[in-house]
Every structure is written in C-alpha cells, then in structure tokens.
C-alpha cells in the first residue's frame, strides 16, 4: 500500500540512481527513511569501487546503521528504484528492516516478490512489509535509457520527467 511521502522519497532514490548512472554504474538508487527523514542515500558503486557488494541498498543500509548507531533498522523504510536481489534482501532481513518500497520489478534477479519472496518467507527469523510499483515507469525508463545509451556508446543518463 502506497503511503504519504512514498513518491517524494522514491524521487530521492531516483536522483541517487541518476547520479550512479552518470558515474558509470547501473542507475539504481536507494534511500533509508527514519521518522519521515532521509538518513542515508546511496547509488550503485560496483564499477566505481570494483566491489561486487556495493549495491545501492547495501550501501544505504550500512550508512543508516552508522547514523542511528545500531544495525537494527526496524523503524526504517528502504526506498529503492529496482527490486532488490537476493543479497540485498538478505541485508534487509539481517538489518531487521521494517519496510521496503521499490519502484520496478527485476525479472531476472528480484528477490522481494518476483523470483523469490525473501522478505515475507516465514522460514526466516524476520519479515518486512513490502510495497512495489512506486514511480515504476520512471525507474524503468531510467534503466532502459541507461542500457540503450551503453549500446549506442553515448553514455547519457537523464532522469525521466
């Protein structure tokens, strides 16, 4: 269920995604919100850092833990422009994240609701609330344009209006 503020917080995640794309990474962005305030923002940094774990979600959750002084993020919401992969959903579970909001599904690696349902799997020790589809079209278009620009060699990344 879309809640007040979801579109605005996803907008911040989309901005982080566009910045990641401009830096040469796949344009995925994430923000962590606590008490209606953004406490962490990150974009993908795998290419920049040459780190296979430098996904936007993981980086944002790490920063949120530092800001709050705890790894338990039960009162936080993670907004991300693409459905998290299994690694990132594992980080959501391990951080005891309260809520996940993502823009578009990942048909090849989505682990929130598409290929796997890690966040709601009753066999795990934590479950979280998941909302999908917030600003889906804009996030999908950003990714499509990024990959089209790679194929054409233009390397242009523009956040869709």
Active-site residue list: 57
Q: CB within 8 A of 104, min separation 6: which ones?
A: 81, 82, 83, 133, 136, 139, 140, 143
Using CA of residue 95, residue 44, residue 64, residue 67, what is the dihedral sign? positive
């Amino acid at each position: 269920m879309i809640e007040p503020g979801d579109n605005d917080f996803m907008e911040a995640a989309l901005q982080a995604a566009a910045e990641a794309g401009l830096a040469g990474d796949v344009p995925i962005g994430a923000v962590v919100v606590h008490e209606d305030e953004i406490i962490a923002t990150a974009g993908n940094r795998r290419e920049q850092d040459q780190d296979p774990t430098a996904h936007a979600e993981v980086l944002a959750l790490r920063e949120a833990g530092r800001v709050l002084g705890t790894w338990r993020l039960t009162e936080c919401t993670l907004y991300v422009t693409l459905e998290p992969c299994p690694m990132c959903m594992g980080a959501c579970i391990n951080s005891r994240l309260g809520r996940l909001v993502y823009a578009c599904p990942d048909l090849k690696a989505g682990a929130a609701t598409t290929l796997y349902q890690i966040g709601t799997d009753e066999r795990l020790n934590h479950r979280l609330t998941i909302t999908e589809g917030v600003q889906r079209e804009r996030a999908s278009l950003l990714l499509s344009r990024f990959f089209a620009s790679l194929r054409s060699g233009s390397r242009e990344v523009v956040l869709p209006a």
